[in-house]
């Protein structure tokens, strides 16, 4: 069994997940398992020493098989980085409820099931770290983001409850809240958004929102490495913080949400979009 700590990173085929895998592989102190549906997108990580796993987080058999494999090969997961997720944007009225349910299956229930499966091993060792990638969307809000933001608000509260439940077993639960990050997450967001609400009564707001997202990704977004470095810092900490916010706009948005009234924050968001 390896003396290195064993890390499992979900959603590692691109963006924050891939950047985190690259950072931890370069660190040298970890055995890094990377999980995603698109296993071919992780070939470059495998060449650097990662151990890719093809996994759809919503398919229970795949999730169980992944955890069993890591237990057989490395003795279990010491650090779980729950990064897999996607953003579904569109007006509440326009969004098919089946799509909304799938958003929760991926961003909350799939993550929750994987966490359930690694916890017994962590409890047995009386050590472990669970890093949940939420978003500043777990604390703030915008029009057209209701279903996605609802999953992130839910994950924030879920993580707080989990942290209290597992603390006595020596397990840390850390929340990382990215701001605007330049990943393919946003490249694949605008198309579905326009398909759902581009030609409805919410079309004008949708056009504004899409333009804002495009502008942000082209000019303002931080690279995924910013979040990868934040995760690495949390893992190195003897006593990690419960929350880390990082990336463009993260600190500003969270500060304004804390101090502005709801109506004032509403006005700020509309002005920001325009």
Q: Which domain holds residue 111?
A: 5-273
Q: Specify the CATH number for the domain of residue 133.
A: 3.40.50.720
Domain count, the chain: 1
Burial class (CB in 10 A: 0-12, 13-18, 19+), 219: exposed
| β-bridge pairing 79-82 and 128-133 | parallel
Is 202 assigned a catalytic role?
A: no
Element (H, E) at 22: helix 15-27
Separation of alpha carbons 91 and 202, rounded Å: 7
Contact present, 71 and 117 (Cβ < 8 Å): no
Separation of alpha carbons 251 and 245, rounded Å: 7
- Residue 1 reports pLDDT greater than 50: no
Cβ neighbours of residue 270 closer than 8 Å, sequence gap 6 or more: none
Could you read off the pLDDT of 96-143 as tens digits, one per residue?
A: 999 999 999 999 999 999 999 999 999 999 999 999 999 999 999 999
Query: Of 37, 150, 132, 41, whose CA–CA distance to 92 is shortest?
Result: 150
Could you read off the pLDDT of 145-172 as tens digits, one per residue?
A: 999 999 999 999 999 999 999 999 999 9
Could you read off the pLDDT of 10-65 as tens digits, one per residue?
A: 999 999 999 999 999 999 999 999 999 989 999 999 999 999 999 999 999 999 99
Neighbours of 100 (CB within 10 A): 18
Mean of pLDDT values over 261-273: 93
Nearest-5° angle of CA 227, CA 119, CA 60?
85
Q: Residues 33, 141, 148, 249: which is the catalytic one?
A: 148
- Reported as a pLDDT band with limits 50, 70 and 90, residue 213 is confident
Separation of alpha carbons 148 and 200, rounded Å: 20
Contact present, 113 and 60 (Cβ < 8 Å): yes
């Amino acid at each position: 069994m390896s003396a290195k700590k064993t890390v499992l990173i979900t959603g590692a085929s691109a963006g924050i997940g891939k950047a985190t895998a690259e950072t931890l592989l370069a660190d040298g102190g970890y055995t890094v398992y990377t999980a995603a549906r698109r296993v071919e997108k992780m070939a470059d990580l495998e060449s650097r020493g990662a151990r890719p796993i093809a996994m759809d987080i919503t398919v229970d058999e795949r999730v169980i098989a992944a955890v069993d494999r890591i237990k057989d090969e490395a003795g279990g997961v010491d650090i779980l980085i729950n990064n897999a997720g996607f953003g579904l944007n569109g007006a509440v009225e326009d969004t098919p409820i089946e799509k909304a349910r799938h958003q929760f299956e991926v961003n909350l229930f799939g993550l929750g099931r994987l966490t359930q499966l690694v916890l017994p091993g962590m409890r047995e060792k009386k050590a472990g770290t669970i890093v949940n990638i939420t978003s500043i969307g777990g604390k703030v809000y915008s029009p057209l983001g209701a279903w996605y933001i609802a999953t992130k608000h839910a994950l924030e509260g879920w993580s707080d409850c989990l942290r209290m439940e597992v603390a006595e077993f020596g397990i840390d639960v850390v929340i990382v809240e990215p701001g605007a990050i330049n990943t393919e997450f946003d490249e694949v967001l605008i198309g579905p958004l326009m398909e759902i609400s581009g030609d409805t009564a919410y079309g004008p707001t949708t056009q504004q929102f899409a333009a804002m997202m495009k502008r942000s990704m082209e000019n303002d977004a931080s690279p995924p490495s910013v979040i990868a470095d934040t995760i690495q810092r949390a893992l190195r900490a003897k006593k990690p913080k419960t929350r880390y916010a990082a990336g463009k706009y993260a600190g500003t948005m969270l500060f304004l949400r804390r101090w502005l009234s709801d109506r004032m924050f509403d006005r700020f968001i509309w002005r920001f979009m325009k």
